[in-house]
Amino acid sequence: MRDKERTGQSKKFEDVELQELLDENPGQTFLKLSIDRLNVTPMTISKHLHAIRKIHKEGRWLSHEMSENAILNRLSIATSLFARQRKKFFVAHRDW
């Protein structure tokens, strides 16, 4: 089954095309990317930016990748919080 082309339907594009535009000029605005460059809705651009893990920070589009240290830090914090909650649960329900 294939989508039929309709008038008013947004142009389809690939994440690779968006990535190439960002590589060319990482300072492009959200609206410039959506309307001027790709002729698609801002929501479409938003979904594709999310899919290729891009965030807009300090006027540039950057990869949203966590470093290994950041991942280990989050894991350590989560483990600590889980242990604390588990301890509170067992103390509160000791009478069972």
pLDDT single digits (tens) 45-54:
888 888 888 8
Enter the DSSP assignment of 8.
Answer: T
Residue 62: CB atoms within 10 A of its CB come to 13
Per-residue pLDDT, averaged over 55-63, amounts to 79
pTM for the structure as a whole: 0.49
40 and 10 Cβ atoms separated by less than 8 Å: yes
- List of long-range contacts for 4-10, beta carbons under 8 Å, 24+ apart: 10/39, 10/40, 10/41, 10/44
Q: Where are the domains of the chain?
A: 11-65, 66-96
Class of domain 11-65: mainly alpha
- Rounded to whole angstroms, how far apart are CA atoms 89 and 86? 5
